[in-house]
Chain A
Amino acid sequence: MSWFLLGIRSGIRTERYAANAPAPAGATPGFPHETRFETTDDAAGNQARCPTGAIHAQGDVATVNRDRCIHCMRCASCDGSAAMEWKVDYNWAHGTDGVDTLPAAFHGSLHVRVIDAGDCGACLNEIAHLSDPFYNAHRHGIFITPTPRHADVLLVVGPVTQQMRAELATAYEAMPEPKRVVAIGACAVSGGIFGPSVMCAAGASSVVPVDIFVPGCPPPPLAIVHALLGVCESKPLER
């Protein structure tokens, strides 16, 4: 059977993208969500369980700092005390205060250069899946480009290792204006579990100015699409 026929017979697998629409099952791990517990001990227990200090307990309420969360899932599976509530969404991107979006000319034509600054491979794989039939980022006019000189947006993954610092800065300088930087994943957002440390920085913003942060470990393709659409404001960003 020819590839053409095989492709046609597979049918259309692309899913409609709509901001705030429910995600297909398994497309995103979701995030722990602000939870009110019956006892203060349950809230404190979840704060103690969190290895990166993403959960903060105040009385019987535990709040979540998504930027620090590494999806260790410990607050989803607890022995004895109650688990955090999880919200299965993907609108995770948030901008730094007062960020300028790119002008309308970039709508439907956004060129993206990916910089691996110490990633484990999961974020990169989710970025690779942007162009698979399910997400098909091309239809939003999002294109991965091989050189920063053609790029409007820099997608940084990884905590920025010492040996990638200079390379990341050089790539940023090589981009034409206007340009935006998006930090993808817990490592690039806050250093994750690797930084700041002897060989890792505390994420992309320690080397280049970051405009949009996408927390998650890793953020699923839908979250990355949401962030990239937010760069040129064709979809609103939500915290």
Chain B
Amino acid sequence: MKPLGSVQDVLAEWPFLAHASLAPDVDLIKPPSDMLHAIATRLRAHGWHLGTIVASETADATDLRYCFYGTAGRGWLHVLLDVDRQTRQTPSLTPVYISADRHEREIEDLFSITFTAHPRLGDFVFHDDKWASGIGLMRPQAPQHIAQTNRPWEPHHVLQEEGAFIMPVGPIFSGHAESALFLLETVGEDVVRAVPRLFYKYRAIEKLAEGRSVHDVLLLVERCNGMSALGNGWGYCNAVESALGIDVPARALALRTLLAELERIRHHAGAIREICESTALTVAANQAAVLEEELLRVTAQLTGHRYLFGTLAVGGLARDFDAEAIAEMLVAVHNILPRFAKMREALEKTGSFLDRIENIGLISPEKAQTFELLGPMARASGVDLDLRTSHPYGRYEDAEFSVPVEYEGDGFARLRVLFREVEQSARILNGVANAPGGALRGEIPQTPGSALGWAEAPRGASLHWTCIAADLSLLRYHFAPPSFRNWHGFHIATEDFAFQDFPIILATLDLSVAENDR
């Protein structure tokens, strides 16, 4: 079998398929739907990752776009499939790429497309007890107001042993947790498996984006997950900028890189705080909270906003920072950094803390690869995947840093990855401190276009598909955030655990509900 190392190899393998080059290193093929499995099986065998699946429906076409990407330098492959408008059925990709599972369940709810041979559809975005099935909210003729129904709903019992029961946790639980329902299946002592029921917070961001200008959709993207506003926002800007062919000035790219790493450090401080809080190590939690709050203030002093809202703009940045302010920020961050190292050292010597986070929430490297997990969660399970190095954007190509990888896949490995990523982010900050001068925003042409954009947000790869009309309004916006994929990791990490470990596992996984629900 010939290797499928690059997009060219794929095109050479199936030369009879209609294909188009969308951009350098981005190619599209249009196979008949019964060929999807054969193509996907070959891609999977040669290490291609499934980025996301984008469904689109217009008045005269319904199609599915499967976006695959190879590791370092292999580009992107889009596989476009027409969906039969009569049957609204299409083969499921889940048997080949298990990571397609959640994407297909979402599309089934939003577009009323049925995936044949999918193991489990239904009760995903729209909960079965509140909505009739087949709403198809994202279809052009979807109703603007949808009446709720109150129907009985019974969670799916997998455990059939005598005395087995489901303990519901949520959707409102704990101190200030995000709303989500967790169904813990147990026979009394340990929890055998846990199933999350998400989308309580579904705000329909993709629907709200339709018809809005590219500038206003950025506001929605930033507020999808406020904790990684810049990481996700940058991915969206990348999508719009490649769709319209905007030339982003070097100064904006350097400053975006600077701010993205500042956000990553601040985000990881918050994640570390939550892990310490979940183990009731109050002093450490407070120390981490001080670090996070100081970083929030440093961010606000530089940009005016604690969470970097309104800093990005399509084509560049919303406002410029003078060299003095940037230098002040860097000094402040470098005064904070030694305390991360000190904290890590102290945590690694605290036996009672290690007892709580070692060997819990295990995600093996095989599982992490099979489910194609993303971000720090995957990197703690031996997956060396980071879009900053594999598909560089901004100034990451010239930046000196390494991608920290740990192999144990437990809570402690995930904590170590967070600490090590902070160190690497600090190296990147030093590298881009001297941003070149020049313009801050590129010119925005009034042309239609569509493209996929990506960025490595603090929680992992953030993918955005934008299809833009000539008046710069969005015809279709699709957002595949890292947490959406990573909730697979929750299923894996919560097999056979003790009740009291539940909050700790949840904290070490660092999953965002808001980002998943969108």
- Residues on A close to B: CB < 8 A? 1, 3-4, 6-7, 10, 13, 24-29, 51, 70-74, 76-77, 86, 114-125, 127-129, 131-134, 144, 146, 148, 158-159, 161-164, 166-167, 171, 192-194, 197-200, 217-218, 220
Cβ-closest chain B residue relative to A220: B306
Question: Which of A127, A144, A146 sits near B173, CB closer than 8 Å?
Answer: A146
Once the chains bind, are B346 and A6 in contact (CB under 8 Å)? Answer: yes
Q: Are A29 and B304 in contact (CB under 8 A)?
A: yes
**Of B146, B199, B283, B310, which is within 8 A of A72 by CB?**
B310
Which chain B positions have C-beta within 8 A of A10?
287, 290
| A120 with B175: CB separation less than 8 A | no
Is the pair A163, B199 in contact by a Cβ cutoff of 8 Å? yes
**List of B residues within 8 angstroms of A158 by Cβ:** 201
Chain A residues near B297: list those with CB within 8 A: 24-27
Cross-chain pairs A/B with CB under 8 angstroms, 22 sampled: A4-B283, A6-B283, A7-B287, A25-B301, A51-B216, A51-B219, A71-B310, A72-B310, A76-B310, A86-B304, A116-B176, A119-B226, A120-B225, A121-B178, A124-B176, A161-B201, A161-B202, A163-B127, A164-B179, A194-B223, A199-B207, A218-B226
Docked Cα-Cα span, A227 to B284, in Å, equals 28
- In the complex the two chains form, what is the Cα distance from A225 to B492 in whole Å? 39
Task: Kindly provide the distance from the CB of A197 to the nearest chain B CB, expressed in whole angstroms.
Answer: 6
User: Contact at B130–A26, with CB atoms within 8 Å?
Assistant: no
When the two chains form their complex, are residues B284 and A70 in contact, meaning their CB atoms are under 8 A apart?
A: no
4 new A-B pairs (CB below 8 Å) besides A114-B176, A117-B179, A164-B171? A26-B301, A121-B512, A125-B226, A134-B293
CA distance A192 to B270 in the complex (A): 25
With A and B bound together, what is the CA distance between A110 and B358 in angstroms?
37
Partner of A118, one of B130, B172, B201: B201
A66 to chain B, nearest CB (A): 16
* Minimum C-beta distance from B280 to chain A (A): 12
Please determine whether A73 and B318 come into contact, CB atoms closer than 8 angstroms.
yes
Q: Which residues of the partner chain A approach B307 to less than 8 Å between Cβ atoms?
A: 122, 218
Cβ proximity bits B208-223 to A, threshold 8 Å, 1 near / 0 not: 1000000110011001
- Is B203's CB under 8 angstroms from A146's CB? no
Per the bound structure, the CA–CA distance linking A7 and B339 in Å amounts to: 12
A185 to B179, alpha carbons, bound, how many Å?
A: 17
B309 and A72 within 8 A (CB): yes
A217 and B127 alpha carbons, distance in the complex (Å): 29
A197 to B207, CA, bound (A): 10
Contact (Cβ within 8 A) B306 A7? no
Check B151 for interface membership: any CB of A closer than 8 A. no
Measured in the bound complex, the distance between the Cα atoms of B306 and A49 in whole Å is 22
The answer to whether A127 and B176 touch (CB under 8 A), given A77-B318, A218-B226, is yes
Chain B residue numbers with a CB within 8 Å of A132 are 286, 289-290, 292-293
Complex: A13 Cα to B168 Cα, angstroms:
39
Given A10-B290, A24-B297, A76 and B319 contact (CB-CB distance below 8 Å): yes
Interface of chain B: mostly helix, strand, loop or mixed: loop
* CB closest chain-A residue, reference B270: A125
In the assembled complex, the CB of A224 is this many whole angstroms from the nearest CB of chain B, namely 11
Count of B residues near A, CB < 8 Å?
68
In the complex, are the beta carbons of A118 and B203 less than 8 A apart? yes
Tell me if A171 and B514 are in contact (CB < 8 A): no
Whether B178 contacts A119 by the Cβ 8 Å rule is: yes
Closest B residue by C-beta to A144: B175
Residues of chain B contacted by A124 (CB below 8 angstroms) = 176, 178
Q: Is the pair B200, A164 in contact by a Cβ cutoff of 8 Å?
A: yes
Q: A29-B305, A120-B224 are in contact. Are A197 and B286 (CB under 8 A)?
A: no
User: Contact at B309–A200, with CB atoms within 8 Å?
Assistant: no
* Most B-side CB within 10 Å, residue of A24, A27, A124: A124
CB of B304 within 8 A of CB of A73, answer yes
| A-contacting residues, B283-325, CB 8 Å | 283-284, 286-287, 289-290, 292-293, 296-301, 304-307, 309-311, 318-319
Contact, CB under 8 Å: B306 / A77: no
Asked if B1 is at the interface (CB within 8 A of a chain A CB), the reply is: no
For residue B204, CB closer than 8 A to chain A, the reply is yes
Residue ID in chain A nearest B440 by CB atoms: A79
The complex places the Cα of A29 from the Cα of B306 at a distance, in Å, of: 7
Contact at A193–B220, with CB atoms within 8 Å? yes
Determine whether the beta carbon of A134 is less than 8 Å from that of B290.
yes
* Cβ contacts under 8 Å, B259 to chain A: none
Q: Is A121 within 8 A of B286, CB to CB?
A: no
Nearest Cβ on chain A to B250's Cβ, whole angstroms: 19
Which residues on A sit within 8 Å (CB–CB) of B223?
A: 70, 120, 122, 192-194, 217
A26 CA to B298 CA, complexed, in Å: 6
Given A72-B310, A164-B171, A198-B207, the answer on whether A193 and B219 have CB atoms closer than 8 Å is: yes
Considering only CB atoms, which chain B residue lies closest to A145 in the complex?
B175
Please measure, in the bound complex, the distance between the C-alpha atom of A49 and the C-alpha atom of B127, giving whole angstroms: 38
Interface residues of B in 164-204 (CB under 8 A from A): 171-179, 199-204
How far in angstroms is the closest Cβ of chain B from A177?
Answer: 20
Task: Please state if A1 and B293 are interface contacts (CB–CB under 8 Å).
Answer: no
Q: Does B137 contact A (CB under 8 A)?
A: yes
- Find chain A residues with CB under 8 A from B146 CB: 162, 198
Contact (Cβ within 8 A) B137 A198: yes
* Cα distance, A123 to B346, chains bound together (Å): 30
Among all A-B residue pairs, the 7 with the closest Cβ atoms: A122-B226, A26-B297, A73-B310, A77-B319, A132-B289, A120-B226, A26-B300
Task: Choose among A25, A72, A120, A192 the residue with the greatest number of B CB atoms under 10 Å from its CB.
Answer: A120
Shortest CB-to-CB span from A50 to chain B, Å, is 11
Q: Do B204 and A114 touch across chains, with their CB atoms under 8 A apart?
A: no
Chain A residues, Cβ within 8 Å of B220: 193-194
Asked if residues B283 and A162 are in contact (CB atoms below 8 Å), the reply is no
Residue of A nearest to B311 (CB): A73
Residues of chain B with a CB closer than 8 A to A27's CB = 297, 300
How close is B482's CB to chain A, nearest CB, in angstroms?
14
Residue of A nearest to B281 (CB): A3
